[in-house]
Structure 1
Amino acid sequence: MENVNIILAFSAGVLSFLSPCILPLIPAYITYLTGMSIEEINSGKDKITIVKKSLGFILGFSIIFILMGVSISSVGKVLSNNRDVFRKVGGILIIIFGLHTMGILKIKTLYREGRVLNMRKAEGTFGAIVLGMAFATGWTPCIGPILSSILIYAGSVDSVSKGVLLLVFYSLGMAIPFFLTALLIQKLSVYLKRIYKYFPVISFISGAVLILMGIMIFTNKLTMLNNYLNF
C-alpha cells in the first residue's frame, strides 16, 4: 500500500476526531462508556474498565467504517472499466467537500446530525461495541465531508483490500487520540477546552487538505506524492 494513501487516511481520521462536532463531546462519550462521572474517572479508579470499554467503543466504530470501505470498494471494482471517470468525479466531490469544510460553500445536508446518545451507560464490553457502532452510524453526517472523501478514494483504488486498508487507517486515526484521551482525561480535560477556540482554524486546515486531496485525485497525481514519501 502506498505510503501517501496511508498517511492521508490516518490524517483524515485525526481531523475527524478534532472536528467541532466530535471533540467537544468526547468527555460525554467517555462517561457513557464507563458509567462514571469525569470526577470519578479523574480519581483514577478502575482503569481496566476504561481501557476495556474504550477498546470496545473503538472496535465498534471501526467495524462500521471498514464495512463502508468494503461496500464502496466493491462498487468501485464493479465500475473498474470507468475508473478514470469515477476518479475525476470523486476528485470534484472531494473539492466541494473541502470548500464546505472551510465554510466557503454551505451544503445544508452536511449539517444534519443523527445523534445516538439515549443510553444511560454502555453495559459491559459488548455495550461499548454497540455504542461505538451507533456513534459511527449516527455521527456520519457530521464527519461526512472527510469520511466521504476517504470512501470515494477507497472506491477508486484498484482492489477491495486496498480500499479496506484505507478505512482501517482512517479508523486508527480516530482511535488512537480517542484512546489516549480516555486514559489521560484528567490531564487533557483542561487542554480540550482551550482547543475549542481553534476550531475555525482546524476546519480551515481540514478543508484545505480535502481540496488538495481532491485536486491530486482528479489529476491522478497522488503517485507523485508517494515518490517523496516512499520511506
Structure 2
Amino acid sequence: MLGIELATAAFLPAALIALLAGILSFLSPCVLPIVPPYLAYMTGVGVNGLQARERSAVLPALFFVLGLSTVFLVMGFAASALGRTFLQYQGILSQIAGGFVIVMGLHFLRVIRIPFLDHEARIDAGAQDGGAFGAYLLGLAFAFGWTPCIGPQLGMILSLAATGGEMTRGTALLAVYAFGLGIPFLLAAIFINRAIGLMNRVKPWLHIIERVMGVLLVIVGVMLITGAFSAFSYWLLETFPGLASLG
C-alpha cells in the first residue's frame, strides 16, 4: 500500500516537470520559429493566407499533435518496459539516467557542446493539401525528425519513465510531455494572428528559455542521482496525506 501511495506522490512532481519540459520544448529556438510555416504547410496555404483565414489550421494541427503524441507514448511505454525489466538495478539506472540528464543540461547551458544535438532535421515545405492524414504523418515525422533538437528534454522525461518502473505511469509522463508540447500548437492554430505576434515578441528571449531548460535538466539529473525524488515523495505524503487516495 505504501508503495502505491509513494508511486502516486512521486508521479506528481515528475508530471509537473514533464509538462514544463513540453512547454519549454515548444518555446525552444528550433521549434518556435517553424510553427507558422508548419501550420501553413499543413493547411496548404502560405503564412499570409493563414493569417487571412483562407483556411483553418485547427483540424490539421489536431492531427499533427496526435501524430507526435503517438510516437511519444510508444517511447514512454518502451522506456517503462525497460525500467521494469531491470527493476533490480533501479539504483544504478537512476544514477546513469541522472548523469545523462545533467550532460544534456550542460549542453543547454553551453558549458559543453554536443554537435549531434545542434542538428535539425527539417522537412521541405512543398505543396500540401491540408488533409488530416497528411498532418498526422507530419506529426510522426516531427517527433522523429526533431529528436536531436528536443532530445535533451525528451531524454529527461524518458529517464524519469525508465526509473519509475511502472508502465502506466511512465507512459502517462510522456502523455503529459506531449500535452505540454502539443497544446501550444493547437492554440497557435486557433489564434494564429495573435500567436504570430506573440512568437515575434518571444524570439529575442529564446536564449534565456534555453538556459532555463538547462537549469531544469541539471536539477532533475541531480535529483535522480541523489534519490531526492523519493525523499520529496515521502515529504509530499507526510505533508498532504490526501494524495494517498489518488493511487
Same fold, TM-score > 0.5, yes or no? yes
Deviation digits for residues 166-193 of structure 1 (CA, Å, limit 9, x no counterpart): 0000000001111111111211212211
Deviation digits for residues 31-80 of structure 1 (CA, Å, limit 9, x no counterpart): 11111222222223443xx2211100000000011111111111111111
Residue 36 of structure 2 corresponds to residue 27 of structure 1: yes
Equivalent residue number for residue 3 of structure 2: none
List runs of 5+ in structure 2 lacking aligned partners: 1-7
Equivalent residue number for residue 162 of structure 1: 169
Q: For 1:91 and 1:218, how far apart are their aligned partners in 2?
A: 5
Among the aligned pairs, what percent are the same residue? 33
Shift of 1:225: 3.9
Closer, same or farther in 2 for the Cα pair 1:156/1:122, shift >3 Å? farther
Q: For 1:225 and 1:206, how far apart are their aligned partners in 2?
A: 21
For structure 1, which segment, 167-176 or 101-110, has the greater mean C-alpha deviation from structure 2 after superposition?
101-110
For structure 1, which segment, 169-178 or 186-195, has the greater mean C-alpha deviation from structure 2 after superposition?
186-195
* 1:120-139 alignment, distance < 5 Å: 120-121=127-128, 123-139=130-146
List runs of 5+ in structure 1 lacking aligned partners: none
Q: Residue 122 of structure 1 contacts residue 131 of structure 1 at CA under 8 Å; is this kept in 2?
A: no
Report the residue type matching 2:151 in the other structure.
G
Shift of 1:217: 1.2
Deviation digits for residues 130-151 of structure 1 (CA, Å, limit 9, x no counterpart): 0000011101011111111111
Q: Residue 41 of structure 2 contacts residue 125 of structure 2 at CA under 8 Å; is this kept in 1?
A: no
Structure with max Cα Rg: 2
Q: Residue 34 of structure 1 contacts residue 53 of structure 1 at CA under 8 Å; is this kept in 2?
A: yes
CA RMSD of aligned residues (A): 1.7
Equivalent residue number for residue 204 of structure 1: 211
Equivalent residue number for residue 225 of structure 2: 218
Equivalent residue number for residue 4 of structure 1: 13
Name the TM-score, length of structure 2 as normaliser.
0.87
Shift of 1:125: 0.7
Q: For 2:203 and 2:124, how far apart are their aligned partners in 1?
A: 22
Q: Secondary structure at the residue paired with 1:114?
A: coil
Shift of 1:122: 5.2
Q: Secondary structure at the residue paired with 1:115?
A: coil
Equivalent residue number for residue 53 of structure 2: 44
Deviation digits for residues 72-129 of structure 1 (CA, Å, limit 9, x no counterpart): 1111111111110000110111111100011111111211222233552254111110
Q: For 1:122 and 1:206, how far apart are their aligned partners in 2?
A: 36
Residue 99 of structure 2 corresponds to residue 87 of structure 1: no
Q: For 1:162 and 1:122, how far apart are their aligned partners in 2?
A: 37
Count how many residue pairs are aligned between Structure 1 and Structure 2.
Answer: 229
Q: Secondary structure at the residue paired with 1:105?
A: coil
* 1:77-116 alignment, distance < 5 Å: 77-116=84-123
Name the TM-score, length of structure 1 as normaliser.
0.93
Closer, same or farther in 2 for the Cα pair 1:45/1:225, shift >3 Å? farther
Equivalent residue number for residue 202 of structure 2: 195
Shift of 1:211: 0.5
